[in-house]
Amino acid sequence: MRLFDRYIAKQIILGTIYAVFILSMVLVMGNLFKQARPLLVEQAAPLGLVVRFVINVLPFSLMFTIPWGFLSAALLVFGRMSSDNEVTSLRVAGLSLFRLALPVFIIGAVLSLGCLWINVNIVPLAKASLTDLVYEQVKRDPRSLLDPGIVQSKFKNQKVFVEARDGDTLKGFNLYQVSNGDKGKPIRTEAYVHAGSVSLIVDEEKKQLRLKLIDTFIESKKEDGTSELVFAGEAEPWLFDFGDDRKKKVKASAMTNAEIRQYMIENPDLKESQKVAFRAEITKRYSFSMACLAFAFIAVPLGLKSRRKDTSGGLIISLLIGAAYFLFTVLSDKFDTDAGAAFALWAPNIFCVLLGLWLFRRARFH
């Protein structure tokens, strides 16, 4: 490797690391406050659990931030080299533009292989683990389901608020049963339960949280809109299950490629749209992995074109290109055929390569 190859490669690698770090922090913090609210607010999760959440979110963010960071670094490096006339000097010395860009293509190929390994092996496992974190906190401390002063919204179609707690006795228990909002109907409160005090019993054997309501008031809505009121000095135990027999929602994004194929074999009666979605998830992992290599084709000529502008313009260009690239792949969910989904997923890569070749050809004569 020549001296200028090492010079360019070093700047690209350092710039990529810096950009990936910044972008990953933004995405991880955004996911932390968006998805970890039940852990942070509703259950006062310990620090170790929050750290596990961050570790599981990080691989998912890398599938976006590595290509994005690489594109930003290449644009900024070649934009600066062009503005400092370094590119002109190297081309006068007899080096072609393709030869100058060789380190970028090599780094892009290596990063694509790394992304492929992350997307196929790490991201599905991280997503599967991420969905279980809140549930693990419940199993660790089921009483945290009913911490006072916090609106608990993790129960299906129910919201619970407890005013105070003294040991295993709850004071001021309030439960709202809301509708699903199916078939275009507005979400409304179907029942309201209030208890002056509640005895809290944890049945570890049956994996149940039992509530014995005292001084109970229940208001339920009838179909005609009228209310029915019930008063009881004591209500039968109210049960919340926290065992391992929950029915998990199957998500292709939380399954490995082998698990997706096995699931499709074991469930041949799946709808065709579901089969397309499962196969599209596998295709997405391969197409996303090739983003770094595809970006290598457009990063160098676009960086050169920004030579008369401030180099921060390269960062803006990278944000626009990256956003367009990943947003375009969302169209794959709109197709009901494998061919349509595959086209939507691979089209951004193909477009970047063709556009890059055209830009390289134009840049040779400038």
Q: What is the pLDDT of residue 342?
A: 87
- Predicted TM-score (pTM) of the model is 0.70
Query: Burial, 289: exposed, middle or buried (Cβ in 10 Å; 0-12, 13-18, 19+)?
Result: buried
Helices (H) and strands (E) in the chain, counts: 12, 6
Angle of the 291-305 helix axis to the 47-83 helix axis, nearest 10: 40
Cα–Cα distance between 104 and 303 in angstroms, integer? 12
- DSSP assignment of 213-230, as one string? EEEEEEEEE-TTS-EEEE
Q: Kindly report the backbone phi and psi dihedral angles of residue 328, in degrees, each rounded to the nearest multiple of 5, phi listed first.
A: -65, -35
Contact 137, 45 (CB under 8 A): yes
Structure tokens given for 194: 């209030």
Cα–Cα distance between 82 and 76 in angstroms, integer? 10
Any bridge partners for residue 166, and if so which?
169
Angle of the 3-35 helix axis to the 102-117 helix axis, nearest 10: 30
**171: which residues sit within 8 A by CB, 6+ positions away?**
148, 162, 163, 164, 165, 196, 197
Query: Burial, 174: exposed, middle or buried (Cβ in 10 Å; 0-12, 13-18, 19+)?
Result: middle
Closest among 131, 99, 104, 22 to 66, alpha carbons compared: 22
Query: Burial, 34: exposed, middle or buried (Cβ in 10 Å; 0-12, 13-18, 19+)?
Result: exposed
Taking the chain (366 residues) in runs of 10, the rounded mean pLDDT of each run is 83 92 82 58 58 78 89 87 82 82 93 93 82 62 65 71 80 80 61 84 70 84 74 72 56 85 88 87 91 91 66 63 76 78 88 88 72
Structure tokens given for 226: 């009228």
What torsion do the CA atoms of 159, 165, 171, 175 make, to the nearest 10 degrees?
Answer: 10
The three-class DSSP label of residue 196 is: strand
CA-based radius of gyration for the chain = 28
